[in-house]
Amino acid sequence: MNRKLLSRLLLVGVALAMLAGCGGGNGGTSGNNNQSGGSDLSNLSGELKASGASFPDAYYQEVVSAFKEKAPNANVTYNAVGSGTGKKEFGQGLTDFAGSDSLVKDSDGVAAGSFLYVPTVAAPITVSYNLSGVDKLQLSADTVAKIFQTDIKKWNDPAIAADNPGVTLPDKDITVAHRSDGSGTTNNFTRFLKAAAPSSWKLGSGDTVAWPSGTQGGEKNTGVAQIIQQSDGGIGYVDLSDATESKLAFASIKNKDGQFVQPTLEAAAAALEGAELADDLTYNPLNAAGAASYPITSPTYLLIKSRYDDPTKATLVKAFVRYVLTDGQALAKEVNFAALPSSLQQKALAQLDKVQS
């Protein structure tokens, strides 16, 4: 009973905070503020709504919770609805910022020039598997492509054996798991295959691709992880965070320099170093050069408006994103995401100064 009452009171509190935020917005005199959000977050109040990619969801939820402790009157919600829907809602003005693993296309409904990319974290996409008796697996891009196209149907296929000298592979059927929903993870994974195994990979790339029959589709990264977990002989692509949390084993993937690399945060960071940065701060760490780079590393971005009409909103967005890029970076490691290299971090922080109000 008490608990219920408490949650009611909390609701009322949140409502009041929102009112206060609105009131502040109307009374605000000058939009420009020079305070660096890091110092006095406790004065912040208001509500931020965001939605988008589910890939970095675990990380953002951590940051949201931590931010809430620093700024108890500010309420930030991030709804993992997928990159596509996130971009649409952002374009319609339903949300204050959006999360996306993929770049904005013309058809996404976000006007070019109205927004800025802010890279936040990166993470390796693992090729996770469930094969009793095999706890170490190495795969080249060509073999991965053939497995996911179901050209290779058994675990003891010569192609897999060639990648794994000295490992006894069982005579088991392979069950391929992929995303059933449209996904930035699928996009990045298939783009890697297209780039690294151009001769073997025939399914193209995109948020969804036409997977062959005999495969299994799961919802979100966690749905794919569950399928692998449930099937002896299963293999699929899952972000490192969910794969680790689901206690899955993952394969080492052969990178551009011919080395088999485990999906680790260090290897992802190495890939970020090797990636080329565009002027709008987008970058492509897939199949990056460098002996230590993990080749299937996915970037993720926040999309923020280049101009917010409501100055309090602008303050709050800046404060939150600044928090993500500073203190929040330390949280990344705990949930298995790779923090940005400091050069990129500085450039991302500089993006915030471009926001007008």
Partner 1 sequence: MTTQTTQEPEQPALTGGGGGVRAERLFSLWTLATGLLVLAILALILITTTNEAWPVLRAGGFRFITERTWDPNPQTGDAVFGALSFMYGTAVSSLIALLIAVPISVGIALFLTELAPRRLGAPAVTIIDLLASVPSVVFGLWGVLVVAPALVHVYRWLNDVLGGIPLLGDVFGVPVGTGRSFMTAGVILAIMITPIITSISREVLSTVPQANKDAAYAVGATHWEMITGAVFPHSFAGLVGAVMLGLGRAMGETIAVALVIGGATAITPNIFAGGNTMAAIIVQQFGESTGLFTAALIGLGVVLFAMTIVVNLAARVVVNRAELRMRGAAG
Partner 2 sequence: MTATVPPATRAAAGQPDLRRSALSLRRRTTNRVAMAAITLALVVAATPLFLVTWTVISRGLDVLSWQFLTEDIPNSYRRSGGGMAPAIVGTLVITGMAALLAIPLGVFGAIYLNEYGKRKPLARVIRTMADVMTGVPSIVMGLFIYVSFVVVVGAKTAFAGALALACLMLPIVIRSSEEMLRLVPGELREASLALGARQWRTILTVVLPAALSGIASGALLAIARAAGETAPIIATVGLTFSVNTGLFEGQNTALPAQIFRNASQPFAAAQGRAWGAALTLVAIVLIFTMLARVVVSRFAIKER
Name the site residues for partner 2 (rule: CB under 8 A).
3-4, 7-8, 10-11, 57-58, 61-62, 64-65, 79, 218-220, 222-223, 225-226, 229, 242, 245-246, 248
Cα–Cα distance, 178 to 227 (Å, whole number): 9
98 in Cβ contact with 87 (< 8 Å): yes
From candidates 56, 124, 234, 285, binder to partner 1 by CB under 8 A: 234
Q: Is 42 in the site for partner 1 (CB under 8 A)?
A: no
CB of 158 to partner 2, least distance (A): 31
Task: Give 201's Cβ-side CA count (13 Å radius).
Answer: 22
271 in Cβ contact with 147 (< 8 Å): no
Q: For residues 83-95, b (16+ Cβ closer than 10 Å) or e, as one string?
A: bbbbbbbbbeeeb
Q: Is 26 in the site for partner 1 (CB under 8 A)?
A: no
Interhelix angle 57-70/327-334, rounded to 10 degrees, is 130
Distances (CA, A) of 352 to 288, 304, 320, 322: 28, 9, 11, 8
Cα–Cα distance, 23 to 102 (Å, whole number): 36
297 in Cβ contact with 271 (< 8 Å): yes
Give the H/E segment covering residue 249: strand 249-250
Q: Which residue has the tokens 């080749």?
A: 295
Pick from partner 2, partner 1, none: which does 4 bind, CB < 5 to 8 A by kind?
partner 2
Nearer to partner 2 among residue 225 and residue 261 (C-beta): 225
**From 18-26, 111-119, 212-220, 253-261, span contacting partner 1 (CB under 8 A):** 212-220
CB of 304 to partner 2, least distance (A): 22
225 in Cβ contact with 247 (< 8 Å): no
Q: Say which residues have a Cβ less than 8 Å from residue 34's Cβ, sequence separation at least 6.
A: none
Q: Torsions phi, psi of 177, nearest 5?
A: -110, 135
CB of 73 to partner 1, least distance (A): 30
Nearer to partner 1 among residue 153 and residue 354 (C-beta): 153
CB of 175 to partner 1, least distance (A): 3
Q: Is 108 in the site for partner 1 (CB under 8 A)?
A: yes
Cα angle 84, 208, 121; round to 5: 55
Pick from partner 1, partner 2, none: which does 7 bind, CB < 5 to 8 A by kind?
partner 2
Q: Is 242 in the site for partner 1 (CB under 8 A)?
A: no
Nearer to partner 2 among residue 4 and residue 166 (C-beta): 4
CB of 226 to partner 1, least distance (A): 8
Q: Is 354 in the site for partner 1 (CB under 8 A)?
A: no
Binding mask 68-107 for partner 1 (x = CB under 8 A): -------------xx-xx-xx------------------x
CB count within 10 Å of CB 74 equals 23
For residue 225, give both structure tokens: 């992880």
Q: Is 232 in the site for partner 1 (CB under 8 A)?
A: yes
Nearer to partner 1 among residue 235 and residue 296 (C-beta): 235
Beta bridge partners of 140: none
Nearer to partner 1 among residue 180 and residue 255 (C-beta): 180
Q: Which of residues 295-324 bind partner 1 (CB under 8 A)?
A: none
Pick from partner 2, partner 1, none: which does 84 bind, CB < 5 to 8 A by kind?
partner 1
Question: Contact positions toward partner 1, by CB under 8 A?
Answer: 81-82, 84-85, 87-88, 107-109, 130, 153, 173, 175, 180-183, 204-219, 223, 227, 230-234
